[in-house]
Amino acid sequence: MSGDYETFENIYLNLGQPGRCRFAPSGMGWKPSSGDTWTLQNTEISSAQWSRAARGYEVKIFTRTMGIVQLDGFESDDLDRVKDTLKTYYKVNLEHREHALKGWNWGKAEFSKQELYFNVANKPAFEIPFSEVSNSNLAGKNEVAVEFATADGGTAATNGEGNKKKKKSSQGLDQLVEMRFYVPGTVKKGEGDEGSDVDGEAGEEMSAANLFYDTLKEKADIGEVAGDTYATFLDILFLTPRGRYDIDMYENSFRLRGRTYDYKIQYDNVKQFFQLPKPDDVHQMIVIGLDPPLRQGQTKYPFLVMQFKREEDMEFDLNITEEVLKEKYDGKLQMHYENSAHNVVSQIFSGLTGKKVISPSRDFVSHHQQSGAKCSLKANEGHLFCLDKAFLFVPKPAVFVSFDRVAYVTMSRVGGSVSASRTFDVTVTLKQSDGGGEYQFNNINREEQSSLEDFFKTKNLRIKNDLVDDSSALLAAALQDDDDDMDEDVTVARADRGSADEDEESVDEDFQAESESDVAEEYDSAHESSGSDDEEGGPEAAAVGDDDDEEMEDAPSETEAPAKKKAKTTNKNVQVRN
């Protein structure tokens, strides 16, 4: 060793950027080419491991209170130098650990104080630091899903002591966001790993997946044991994600506990908070905007939507001391609440997250004196709320569009029929600087047109109103439809009258021009062969028949068929009179 320190170049700290690593008797430090210097006191170092890693060889340092520190980028020749340095300066033995390279995807999971080891043939295939686990769920009867911190979730999370700890997985572009373990069979409580502190009676059988899940929640500090709960709300209805969840609120985070999924969400991830009256005069909605969004498998939920009944009242006492309330939440929270349920939940959420409650704009009132307009976004029905600085569509998919991103708003109608005049569409086109694109809100009641148009003008939004341009075309279409309806009525009346005159005979369906003359001749021959006034109408009928025969002889040949039809009708009428 040279002097009082040992230096290594191009060492990566916690999978981040390279820098210079230096060991000294007082501790160790790491400095990148541009940025702040990171240091670690010698009293924090408890143990260390040497193993093969992505960029060569890695020194993993286990600390007493700061988790695991990874130093990657060492050469194979550096083993002796690092080993002697740690032994001399910190009295720590460097353990040489080899990983399993068989490629098996089955093995044994072991929980240590700071990591989850997946061992294959008594060698670790990989390790998962508990500080990297952001959430865990029972994805099936024997399946446990483990979610990891992502880059869009920021670089800081909060541990049980309220200190900030850096998330290593957010340093790279390619990230592992979820891993699933299949854990079959049953086990007895007390027969698990030595590091497991899951409560339960010894000898009681339970699912191995449940034991794995409970142990991971406790070790990763993502369960109910993450400090004392300030408030707990049971069986709250969520429209997004759909279901009923219990809400546990802690000092720095809140947790949603459902039948299938559990979520832990940091207050730092709450970016917006809305309280919206649903346009049914019955329910009230609370909308929480998250960044990063909540993940459920491949689905992301950037907004949480809760629904309450307006008439539901609640009395609630916070689980907090007077000293803490005055020290941290003076003026933001109070010990006792007695109000409607949605107001109580809103006030507690607002006080713990520090976010202002946003309500609909007073500049917009719908035709039915509501704060939102019913519409649909693609195939999903919902409500469009006009806020002071943005549009908000809820419940699913929840869409938030701020006015500073809007290029112009188009009010249009689909088609030109009369039915289309009862509704219209509003298309919000975004600026090219914000990526362009558009949102089309369909099937808005025509009664809301003037209210929305006045609101757009109040907020100085550019309006392209296509409803005025096609008004004359719609009027013409409406008049044409009215004329068609009148003609249709007249036609139907005439058809009814004609069928009555023909004594309900289906003349049009059964009539054949070729056989009509034969029918007329049969009538004529029957009349002539009678020779009696009492048969087939008597003399009066004969006179009528003679006149018809004279008319048929004088008429042109092409009009012979209609003339015969007239003769048939006349003879039939005579027969009816008799």
CATH number at residue 399: 2.30.29.30
Mark which of 320, 353, 386 sits at the end of a domain: 353
For residues 237 and 302, state if they share a domain.
Answer: yes
For residues 331 and 400, state if they share a domain.
Answer: no
- Judge whether 517 lies within some domain: no
- Judge whether 529 lies within some domain: no
- Judge whether 116 lies within some domain: no
For residues 246 and 314, state if they share a domain.
Answer: yes
Strand (E) or helix (H) holding 217: helix 208-219
Half-sphere exposure of 53 (CA within 13 A, CB side): 22
For residues 334 and 381, state if they share a domain.
Answer: no
Contact 245, 301 (CB under 8 A): no
End-to-end, the C-alpha distance of the chain in Å comes to 139
For residues 331 and 419, state if they share a domain.
Answer: no
For residues 454 and 401, state if they share a domain.
Answer: yes
For residues 405 and 450, state if they share a domain.
Answer: yes
- Judge whether 411 lies within some domain: yes
- Judge whether 283 lies within some domain: yes
For residues 379 and 461, state if they share a domain.
Answer: yes
- Judge whether 421 lies within some domain: yes
Q: What is the CATH number of the domain that holds 293?
A: 2.30.29.150
Alpha-carbon dihedral of residues 151, 155, 158, 164, nearest 10 degrees? 170
For residues 83 and 29, state if they share a domain.
Answer: yes
Mark which of 424, 453, 473 sits at the end of a domain: 473
- The rounded distance, in Å, linking the Cα atoms of 298 and 241 is 13
What's the domain range around 451?
Answer: 372-473
- Judge whether 491 lies within some domain: no
- Provide the domain count of the chain: 3
Dihedral sign (CA 159, 164, 168, 170) = positive
For residues 293 and 332, state if they share a domain.
Answer: yes
Mark which of 300, 322, 353 sits at the end of a domain: 353
Residue with tokens 């483990």: 146
For residues 237 and 340, state if they share a domain.
Answer: yes
Query: Amino acid identity, residue 572?
Result: K
The residues with which 231 forms a beta bridge, in sequence order, are 249
- Judge whether 203 lies within some domain: no
List per-residue pLDDT tens for the chain, 578 residues long: 455 889 999 999 988 889 999 999 999 999 998 888 999 999 999 999 999 988 899 999 999 888 889 999 999 999 999 999 999 999 999 999 999 988 899 999 999 888 899 999 999 999 998 888 888 888 778 899 888 876 554 333 333 333 344 455 445 567 788 899 999 998 876 655 444 444 445 567 888 998 998 898 888 876 544 457 899 999 999 999 999 999 999 888 898 988 878 888 889 999 999 999 998 889 999 999 998 888 877 788 999 999 999 999 999 999 988 888 888 888 889 999 999 999 999 999 999 998 999 999 999 988 888 889 999 998 899 999 999 999 999 998 899 999 999 999 998 875 444 445 788 999 999 998 877 889 999 999 988 988 999 999 999 999 987 765 554 554 455 555 555 555 544 444 444 444 344 444 444 444 454 444 444 444 444 444 444 444 444 444 434 444 444 444 444 444 444 444 444 444 444 344 43
For residues 262 and 347, state if they share a domain.
Answer: yes
